[in-house]
Amino acid sequence: MSRLSRTELPRRAARRRRANRLRHWLTPAPWRFFGRLQETARLWIKTQGLRILLELEDAWVIKKGNHMPPAKKRTRRKKLTGLSEIFNYLRKNTKPIYIVTPTPYSLLGLDQWVGGLEFINYFDIFDGSHPRAFVPTKIMHDEFQSMEDVGNYLVSHPQFVAKAKANPGGKAIFVMFNETTEQLCADAGIEVALAPAALRERLDSKIVTTQLGNEAGVDSAPNIMGEADSYEALMDLAKKGKLGSDLVVQTPYGDSGRTTFFIKSRKDWDKYSAKIIDQKLKVMKRLNHLPGAIEGCATRLGTFVGPVMTDITGFAEVTPYKGGWCGNDASPALLPEGVPDKVREMARKFGDRLYKEGYKGVFCLDFLLDTDTNEVYLGELNPRVSGVTPPTNLITSTYGGCPLFLFHLLEYLDVDYEVDVEAVQSRWNDYDNWTQLVLKQTEDKVELITKAPQSGIWKLTDDGSAEFVRPALNVQSLGDENEAFYLRVYSAGDYCYHGADLGCVLARGRMQTDRRNLTRRAKLWNSGIKAQFESIPLPAVEPIAIPDNISDGKWF
């Protein structure tokens, strides 16, 4: 072996010192070797050459007596920019998305936009013909008291659990759910793609809604909060708020048609007092008003808002509930000039405040238009997929080319995205007239259904009756205003009862006049579809106990 020169010896010593420093640098976290090596490789190659790097790697392996762990693959999440990339991403989605509802009506048609989406339903409203609707085989269960009970039954059903576990990591969407639902979903290996139940429960209070509205700069109708255990106490509360004696009283939770009471006399108080005493109350001045609704979606980019609608409420031939919701009219010309912009701005402000509160996704705001002043007031919040979701997605997809609910999904999928909110919003502001009419049984009877109308396209005949035209799975199959898309709930073998949802009619045009009367066409659709049902009285030996609060179990 040749002797090293005096200049070569110091070079080798310096090289060893550098190598030792590199070994020390690598030892605390050897699995990051290749990641850090990338950052320094160019400099080492230029100065010391590839040879020393390979020698150092070998030295580390020999010293540790181990193999190098494989480099962790780093995937950078791509941001979706613009609607085209969003549509492409959702269309190619393979992650299971389960819409768990009594019927598929709430988000019907969304499966045409989103891959991996499937409806999990209790009622088979399409008689097995919908390719993405899964109706588990009926098994024994407790009597349903609410829509939450239906959802819990479905997600705990053995057939659904097997489906979910076979393809884990899915998302689930409900109209109504609770903390039990969240636990059942966790047990099945899926995640609820909605705001937490505890948060939704808190926001659902009409008292909290009013407080959040005040913070967001969204006014409610003149009101005062408090409690009343007598008619005199209610009048004292109203006097304090300068509300007069013609009052609207609301309790915190529940459907507005069943928790809103109109009181202007002691007789009215006596009629409703049992539902009011010991409750926190929102007491409002009764206004000459037009009720309406708008759906929004609170997102990281801001709040998207859908079309403005007016409510169809309280018609005795359609619903047995005084003031109860039974449909919506949607038209740009329904409200006075400037009012739709006020409603949209109200929804945007409130949605932004909801997002700060930790809520993301779709919500529905009910509003009141004071017809004497054209002032718009906040009514109540529905922090969920709601009754206006179907016409909202119909209009935003048909006229704007983009269903509002897509942005809800994006908030709960592992993806970053960016769009021009104002540009998307402008696509949704011009649309034709549409209406939905929710048909309820008004007769106070419980009977066994022996014949029920088929879901699909129906038309009104010259004599005013309804006639089935053709099967259909979505509303876009409609022709002219003489046709309507009807979705059934109950079929032969089910029971009908007072307040039961008999189905929903979706059609072009309006079904309510400017003076808030049902149109003749609306009355014909209501009577024509209901006439298709046939039922028989129950045998005396087979009593059916309808739960006291079954009215809460509405399916729309």
DSSP code string of 481-534: TTEEEEEE---TTSEE-TT-EEEEEEEES-SB-TTS-B-HHHHHHHHHHHTT-E
Q: Structure tokens of 394?
A: 């119909």
Res 322: pLDDT? 80
Residue 71 forms part of a structural domain: no
Structure confidence at residue 515 (pLDDT): 87
Residue 200 domain-assigned (yes or no): no
Has residue 2 been placed in a domain?
no
Whether the Cβ atoms of residue 496 and residue 490 lie closer than 8 Å to each other:
yes
**Token digits of residue 54:** 């390979």
Pairing type for strands 456-460 and 534-537 reads unpaired
258 and 173 in one domain? no
Nearest-angstrom CA–CA distance, 476 and 478: 5
Do residue 22 and residue 59 come from a single domain? yes
pLDDT of residue 19: 55
Do residues 396 and 450 share a domain? no
What is the model's pLDDT at position 545? 58
Choose the final residue of a domain: 193, 218, 252.
Answer: 193
Instruction: Please check whether residues 417 and 499 belong to one and the same domain.
Output: no
Same domain, 24 and 94: no
Residue 175: the pLDDT is: 96
In a domain, 278, yes or no: yes
pLDDT of amino acid 178: 96
* Residues 103 and 160 reside in one and the same domain: yes
DSSP state of 396: H
Q: SS3 letters for 187-198? A: HHCCEECCCCHH
What phi and psi values does residue 554 have, to the nearest 5 degrees? -65, 150
Pick the closest to residue 328 from 389, 417, 379 (CA basis): 389
Tokens of residue 362, six digits? 């779709």
Integer Cα distance of 36 and 49 in angstroms: 17
331-369: b (≥16 Cβ within 10 Å) or e: beebbeeebbebbbebbbbbbbbbbebebbbbbbbbbbb
Of 406, 426, 446, which marks where a domain is finished? 426
Q: Is residue 199 part of a domain?
A: no
The pLDDT assigned to 47 comes to: 45
383 and 279 together in one domain: yes
Residue among 129, 111, 137 nearest 454 (CA): 129
The domain spanning residue 413 has which CATH number? 3.30.470.20
Task: Give the residue from 45, 36, 342 showing the smallest Cα distance to 217.
Answer: 342
185 to each of 198, 363, 528, how far by Cα in Å?
16, 22, 41
Please say whether the dihedral angle defined by the alpha carbons of residues 484, 485, 490 and 491, taken in this order, is positive or negative.
Answer: positive
Q: Which residues contact 453 (CB under 8 A, 6 or more apart)?
A: 466, 468, 486, 488, 503, 529, 532, 533
Question: pLDDT tens track of the chain, all 556 residues?
Answer: 444 455 555 566 666 666 555 554 444 444 444 444 444 444 444 445 444 544 554 444 344 444 444 444 545 567 999 999 999 999 999 999 999 999 999 999 999 999 999 999 999 999 999 999 999 999 999 989 899 999 999 999 999 999 999 999 999 999 999 999 999 999 999 999 999 999 999 999 988 999 999 999 999 999 898 999 999 999 999 999 999 999 999 888 766 557 889 999 999 999 999 999 988 899 999 999 999 999 999 999 999 999 999 999 999 999 998 888 899 999 878 899 999 999 999 999 999 999 999 999 999 999 999 999 999 999 999 999 999 999 999 999 999 899 999 999 999 998 999 999 999 999 998 899 999 999 999 999 999 999 999 999 999 999 999 999 999 999 988 888 899 999 999 999 999 999 999 999 999 999 999 888 999 999 999 999 999 999 999 886 655 555 555 444 466 6
Residue 543 confidence (pLDDT): 57
The Cα–Cα gap between 489 and 45 comes to: 72
For residues 307 and 165, membership in a common domain is answered with no
Residue whose C-alpha is closest to residue 524's, from 471, 472, 461: 461
The reply to whether 107 falls in a domain is yes
pTM of this prediction? 0.81
Residues 218 and 243 in one domain: yes
CB atoms within 10 A of CB 426: 11
What residue has token string 């505890």?
198
| Total count of domains within the chain | 4
For residues 161 and 139, membership in a common domain is answered with: yes
pLDDT of residue 34: 43
Q: Are residues 96 and 38 in the same domain?
A: no
Strand-pairing partners, residue 386, are: none
**What confidence score (pLDDT) does residue 21 get?**
56
Q: How far apart are CA 296 and CA 389, in angstroms?
A: 10
In which domain, by residue range, is 251 found?
206-426
Residue 150 sits in the same domain as residue 54:
no
In 3-state terms, what secondary structure has residue 358?
Answer: coil
269 located within any domain:
yes
Helix (H, G, I), strand (E, B) or coil at 237: helix
Q: How many CA atoms lie within 13 A of 178 on its CB side?
A: 8
What pLDDT, on the 0 to 100 scale, is given for residue 58? 46
The whole-number pLDDT of residue 27 equals: 47
Residue 316 corresponds to which tokens in the numbers above?
């005795």
Pairwise CA distance, residues 32 & 386, whole Å: 49
Is residue 325 one of the residues assigned to a domain? yes
